[in-house]
Amino acid sequence: MPVKIVRPVPPDIAIAQSARLRPVAEVAAGLGLGDDDLDLYGKYKAKIHLDVLERVDSRPMGRYVDVTAITPTPLGEGKTTTTVGLCQALGAHLGRKAIAVVRQPSMGPTFGIKGGAAGGGYAQIVPMEDLNLHLTGDMHAVTAAHDLLAAAVDARVLHEYYQEDERLFKALCPADGRGRRRFAPSMLRRLEKLGIAKTDPDALTPGERRRLLRLDIDPEAISWKRVIDVNDRFLRRIRVGLGPEELGLGRETGYDITAASEIMAILALTTSLADMRDRLGRMLIGTSKSGRPLTAEDVGAAGALAVIMKDALMPNLLQTLENTPAIVHAGPFANIAHGNSSVIADRIALRLVGEDGYVVTESGFGADCGMEKFMNIKCRASGLRPDCVVIVATIRALKMHGGGPKVSAGRPLPGEYTRENLDLLGKGLVNLTAHIRNALLFGVPAVVAVNRFAADTEAEIAVVREAALEAGAEDAVAADHWASGGAGAVALAEAVIAACSKAGRFRFLYPLEWGIKKKIETIATKIYGADGVDYTPEAEEAIKLYTRLGFGRLPVCMAKTHLSLSHNPAWKGAPTGYRLPVRSVKASVGAGFLYPLCGDIRTMPGLPTRPAFMDVDLDPKTGKIVGLS
């Protein structure tokens, strides 16, 4: 193994910095990729060119595995760690060609409560510092593109406010040195949308000029906020435009975290540069004062956004601690977005491993969040179908669901979690069986991976295995990849290989033809266990509006807490006898889904009393990062 296993297990960053990495060009060569297929970002990370997909598109695809989990504690239950450990077992120990495909971590949680997301122990993607921080700049590209559109919207309101139609026309269609005017590319798209078949600006009538150029944005209806990749609760609600040059056009708005940006969702769901350009143009920014929906294309910014995002569309190639390949791309959260890595990364990986290989991806949070959206949203966008689902469970999380004491990040675990307690564990198994049932709703074989901790006993693991098999799982296997690397996940890998050999009968949970409410209620009752759904008047109006605008055939991306199967984070186990409250419904038309907001869900996290950044520092003598987890 390229990294020496020692006991006790050192901190993640110490393990990562002691690893012997292969040059990423060598990792790429093992997949059949050459220098012309890569843009190198130093020695150990690279971007994969998009034309690779065209070149390998006729090759047979490998097996497709999605790693999900039971409802987690605030500590997380090790999905990324399991994804990496499984791929290390498949590739480095069983001789199968395997690629781990994961999301890029957000620096918000990295410096907040959760810490990094490169895996952990001896199952990590490296270099972990690069992965958890800037990597190749994709997060920054999303932030810049998103905020450019926000700035463009406010600027357009301002410039339309103080300029008459003729002055606005001359500013937006300026004459060149010979007095000739031309339309910007985005204007030509808007002309087509408006049904105006003219290519010469001077041929427009005064009425056509007004229709084309005066968007008449309603400041109170602007839905496009700004984003930043930092947990900052004080930016949730702000006022902008307070300076004298903004002519009294101040308004209330706010910030979301970058992972919640619709542009991030587009990055994850798009299939090509052309598709991304079209999706960016379809993003809604608000409405006009007459109630007409307005898009990024109408504002004239979509082309610039595509230019900012062009390089970010190329997936990032890294490696695991055991030198097996890993692709990292996109980073939407699963509670406030669809929570999966990119379609493009999965498509490339499945062709590179070939028909005898395995691509292991992960879906955010529990199966009620990321896996449901993987099936109903990502698989619709990609056309891909999974061969197996791995459900990660931990003894500590199951005890929590059985009524154990509160688990809090940064605080020692109560004794109930470090001593054998079969009664508490048994009561919490309802959460595991609910998630197994949810996976089977999609017709995909499920394997349970018990991510093993030092305090877990053989009797506890046996109880979990028995319950999992009784609930319909193909197998339930204890895995020790955190402490032992790929060698600790060989039994899990063998179970996954066996499950993938069985012919599943994949099916979506709902057809797109169903109405918006029926799709929401199907997820609420079948996945969450609710008795029904209650809508606020705001949600009712939004559903009527989106149905009228023709958005009713989009899939739905539920925004809810990840800490419960329900909308209430305090309800553990498998809650029943409740109704799911939907307080609002928003449209991400560019990404291609509607997202109902359930309960008290926030799109900008806050920092805790003791954030993770307090342990992070730089060793000035060596230049190495210390304290990153």
Same domain, 91 and 201: no
Sequential DSSP letters for 8-26: SPPPHHHHHHH--PPPHHH
d(CA 63, CA 496): 10
d(CA 514, CA 520): 10
Question: What's the pLDDT tens digit per position in 282-303?
Answer: 999 999 999 999 999 999 999 9
- Number of neighbouring beta carbons within 10 Å of residue 394: 24
Domain finish residue from 304, 338, 360: 304
Q: Is 3 helix (H, G, I), strand (E, B) or coil?
A: coil
Same domain, 273 and 388: no
Task: Choose among 326, 332, 364: nearest CA to 346.
Answer: 326
Look-up of token digits 């990294």: 3
Name the percent of the chain lying above pLDDT 70: 100
Question: What's the pLDDT tens digit per position in 515-567?
Answer: 999 999 999 999 999 999 999 999 999 999 999 999 999 999 999 999 999 99
Average pLDDT score over residue span 432-446: 97
Same domain, 481 and 421: yes
Q: Is residue 446 part of a domain?
A: yes
Query: How many structural domains are present in the chain?
Result: 3
Mean pLDDT score of the chain:
95
* CATH number of the domain within which 45 lies: 3.40.50.300
Q: Is residue 160 part of a domain?
A: yes
Contact 316, 138 (CB under 8 A): yes
Q: Is residue 545 part of a domain?
A: yes
What six digits make up the tokens of 307?
Answer: 């230019």
* CATH number of the domain within which 577 lies: 3.10.410.10
Q: Is residue 27 part of a domain?
A: yes
d(CA 222, CA 253): 8
Same domain, 391 and 425: yes
d(CA 475, CA 484): 21
Contact 536, 581 (CB under 8 A): yes
**Half-sphere exposure at residue 60, Cβ-oriented, CA atoms within 13 angstroms:** 7
The pTM (predicted TM-score) of the whole model is 0.96
Characterise 217 by phi-psi region: left (phi > 0), alpha (psi -120 to 50), beta (else).
beta
d(CA 283, CA 302): 9
Same domain, 384 and 473: yes
Same domain, 26 and 90: yes
* CATH number of the domain within which 180 lies: 3.30.1510.10
Same domain, 158 and 243: yes
What pLDDT is recorded for position 1? 64
**Half-sphere exposure at residue 243, Cβ-oriented, CA atoms within 13 angstroms:** 3
Q: Is residue 505 part of a domain?
A: no
User: Per-residue confidence at 385, pLDDT binned at 50, 70, 90?
Assistant: very high
| Secondary structure letter of residue 340 according to DSSP | B
Residue 409 pLDDT greater than 80, yes or no: no
Question: What's the pLDDT tens digit per position in 123-162?
Answer: 999 999 999 999 999 999 999 999 999 999 999 999 999 9
Question: What's the pLDDT tens digit per position in 184-241?
Answer: 999 999 999 999 999 999 999 999 999 999 999 999 999 999 999 999 999 999 999 9
Q: Is 328 helix (H, G, I), strand (E, B) or coil?
A: strand
Look-up of token digits 């909308």: 567
Domain finish residue from 258, 274, 304: 304
Same domain, 494 and 521: no
Same domain, 417 and 565: no
Q: Is residue 192 part of a domain?
A: yes
Q: Could you list the active site residues?
A: 79, 81, 103, 114, 334, 365, 453, 482
Same domain, 352 and 265: no
Please name the helix (run of DSSP H) or strand (run of DSSP E) that holds residue 504, with its range, or none. Answer: none
Please name the helix (run of DSSP H) or strand (run of DSSP E) that holds residue 528, with its range, or none. Answer: none
Q: Is residue 394 part of a domain?
A: yes
Same domain, 494 and 540: no
Name the percent of the chain lying above pLDDT 90: 93
Q: Is residue 609 part of a domain?
A: no
Q: What range defines the domain where residue 170 resides?
A: 140-304
Q: Is 608 exposed, middle or buried (0-12, 13-18, 19+ CB in 10 A)?
A: middle
Same domain, 121 and 78: yes
Task: Choose among 18, 71, 36, 20: nearest CA to 563.
Answer: 71
Domain finish residue from 275, 304, 333: 304
